[in-house]
Amino acid sequence: MAERKPSLCYQQNSGKAQNYLVPRIIINKRQVQYSITQKTNLMIAASFEYDAPSTLEEAIGLLQQYGEDAKILSGGHSLIPMMKLRFASPQRVIDINGVPGLSYIKEEKGVLKIGALTREAEIEHSDLLKKKFPIFGDVTKLIADPQVRNRGTIGGNLAHGDAANDHPAAMLALRATVIATGPEGKRSIPIDEFFFGFYQTALQHSEVLTEIQIPIPPKGTGSAYHKFERKVGDYATAGAAVQLTINDKGICTAIGIGLTNVNATPLRAGRSEQFLLNKSLTDDNIAAAAQLASEDCNPSADLRGSEEYKRAMVAVLVKRMIRKAIERTK
């Protein structure tokens, strides 16, 4: 087995996510390009052992046994590319695709429940979501391409803990709750407590993300998401998700705004939300809220644009998505 030598990037990236380096970020610092050329067998993953448990208990048992050395394989469209590039080299891959009962979209007692193993394509074409949560149509259409959406799962999209993924921002806007199942049973994690840092989430090594719960909003609610991307399947230059509720007097009674890829973690535009709450959504108020969001984000300059450009795009997107969400309240 080819051994990975710790490179400068690894030393910089201390903490639990050290196996998980990010190509696009580090390439900007011109470090990974160097280490990539040092490796042979570039597009073949390091050796690992493969398990395909048929029950959740079995999967959790394996996670308990192997801890940090194991990774859950769901859709695999984040994990496998990272393994091929040797940014991740788990010694054990636990494929949960054969675990039954993790793929569903249903409404129960005022809560929308989505199983972690639900594919993006299923979310894209779900009639229930089209009717009640048009934001999911916006989000999934922008995730990679049809082949990837046939495999990628919503649980994987969140558990990957990448601020460049699209679901996290939407989940912030929708105020979702993530259900993790571990040896001690189920645990609810509010979305605001889920993303910790770069590729770091609240999930423990022995836990599997099993469900996403979203409160069904009252009447007069609209939601929308969009991201700027250079081409189909690109990571967002910037992205914004909005869900808002307005009463019959035109006053905003609830609002959630999430931002994609303009911070180390998926970012809630908290000041913008506070600003708009209990106000009428006039053009001036929307513009002021958008301005607050562009001030509060922390984008880094890369191939997709400078920091200033990304801040400007955050303001544009927040404005547009608020307007689109207002339209959808009707």
Q: Please report, as ranges, the residues that interact with other proteins according to CB under 8 A.
A: 1, 43-50, 52, 73, 76-77, 80-81, 83-84, 93, 95, 97, 121, 144-148, 150-151, 232-233
Q: Nearer to other proteins by C-beta: 86 or 175?
A: 86
Distance of CA 276 to the CA centre of its chain: 25
The Cα–Cα gap between 197 and 202 comes to 10
Return the number of other C-beta atoms located less than 10 Å from residue 6's C-beta: 9
Q: Tell me how far, at minimum, the Cβ of 2 lies from other proteins, in Å.
A: 12
Q: Tell me how far, at minimum, the Cβ of 5 lies from other proteins, in Å.
A: 20
Q: Nearer to other proteins by C-beta: 41 or 274?
A: 41
Q: Tell me how far, at minimum, the Cβ of 148 lies from other proteins, in Å.
A: 6
Rg of the Cα atoms in the chain: 20
Q: Tell me how far, at minimum, the Cβ of 89 lies from other proteins, in Å.
A: 10
Q: Tell me how far, at minimum, the Cβ of 109 lies from other proteins, in Å.
A: 32
Q: Nearer to other proteins by C-beta: 147 or 306?
A: 147
Q: Nearer to other proteins by C-beta: 155 or 299?
A: 155
Please report, for residues 37, 83, 118, the alpha-carbon distance to residue 106 in angstroms, rounded to integers and kept in the order given: 47, 33, 11
CB 270 within 8 A of CB 164: no
Q: Nearer to other proteins by C-beta: 2 or 216?
A: 2
Q: Tell me how far, at minimum, the Cβ of 99 lies from other proteins, in Å.
A: 13
CB 128 within 8 A of CB 107: yes
Helices (H), the chain: 8-12, 23-28, 32-37, 56-66, 79-84, 120-124, 127-132, 134-141, 146-151, 154-159, 167-174, 270-276, 283-296, 307-329
Q: Nearer to other proteins by C-beta: 137 or 270?
A: 137
Q: Among all chains, which residue has been given the structure tokens 């390009």?
A: 33
